[in-house]
A and B are shown apart, each in its own frame.
Chain A
Amino acid sequence: MSFVKKCLVPRLIQYFLVTFLGLTTAFFLPRFLPLDPVEQRIAQYQAFGVYIPPEQLEEIMNTLRQLYGLQGTLWEQYGIFWRRLFMGDFGPSLARYPTPVIQLIVQSIPWTIGLLLLTTLFAWVVAILMGGVAGYFRNRWTEILDGIVMVMRPIPYYIMALLCLIVFAYIFPIFPLSGGVGIGREVSFGFDTIVSIVKHGALPALTLLVVGIAWQFQSMKLIVQGVRSESYVWYARAGGVRERKIIFHYVIRNAMLPMITQLGLQLGTIFSGALVTEMVFAYPGVGWILYDAVMKGDYNLIMGIMCISVVAVTTSILFLDLVYPIFDPRVRYR
């Protein structure tokens, strides 16, 4: 009972606070910038040679303002923003009028989450094991591995995605160049669809995996090297504990803890990275519709994605924080 009160409540309060702040920032961001999106829109139309009679200009601007949620005073807008938010209404997508933004987002989220979840978890587990072993032992293999990672790690998602694209879809045309499933296919639960999904998802997954593993591997290795020379490891060895047990139960288990916290901090970056990767591969996740939205100036969609992203990231961090005590008994018994 006291666990709930001591840890859970303050943490939840912090979660809501940060999410609230994030969403408020999302709200205020475009409004504090010196340019007015509505005016920009009008200017764009006029640049394309569309003639707008001055009487109707006012009305059009009003409608646009309503769409954008920019009507009324700042406080009114803020109120409308939150009201709509709770109803999940981000307005209609401007590029695909009148499809509501929320529908578009809901359609693409499963792709992104699937990709992210699988690759992040897998990369993390692999990196922990590899990094743990590499940090513990010091032989030729680990040096080679280290060398490879030293080259891979600094490469950002985008470039890696491009590389994968070029190498595996262009030079050796193994995987398809884009999309989530073959064009024109119905998403059903048949075996064919699954194969298609896997084929299309392979390259984005590969990108995320490689970059993810490279990052975590380095950190884990460094941490393990530090843990390895701690007194309790020496003590265990002197006490005759089997080497294997030392590696896994003592060293890796302890090194995992800072890795988990690190993961939490990196979630924002990993998320952004996934979005970029999707863009390169035209993978139908959130990233791709974001790209589309930017290209077409779909303001509502961009705002919707921003809000969802904020909530997604803060929620995942919260989840990690709550899961942490499972791994760290010291925190458990407080």
Chain B
Amino acid sequence: MRVFTPLSEQTIGSLKCGSNVLLNGIIYTARDAAHKRMVEALAAGEDLPFKPEGQVIYFVGPTPAPPGRIIGSAGPTTSGRMDAYSPILLEKGLRGLIGKGPLSAEVLQVIKETGSVYFGAIGGAGALLSSCIKKVEVLAYPELGPEAIHKLEVEDLPAIVLVDCYGNNLYELGRAKYQLT
């Protein structure tokens, strides 16, 4: 199923835990350092580098673009490191996260309360995911290098719904199905 950003309430409502999706449109990259900067900006009463309503953040720090490419390898990093920051951004209107690995109970709660969604991209498939990125623009914090906020235009970026807006979590449900005791 193709999913377009920014995410509407209707789109989010139709996304079910465990479904494969192809993401299309604009997404924003941010990892540890950029998150810290965004949350500090909000605390100082400043605006975020992009309007967060309905938008999606991809937790990634790509390799530098070699000549002839717009971006290098670009797979997801561990989402849990952004747990301290994600609730604040979700409460400001952000509606989607793309990453890998479990989220804290607090973030899961905020995802449910705000009607948001957590997508999983395959960790270690940075070359494959890179081929779905069609445009790249450094939007903010260029001094952070690979950790700068990049505005990406993606076409059919493969992802899976890890946590839907109803609170279903693939990391729990998937494992329970295959665990042998």
Asked if A and B are interacting partners, one says: no
Residues of B within 8 A of A (CB): none
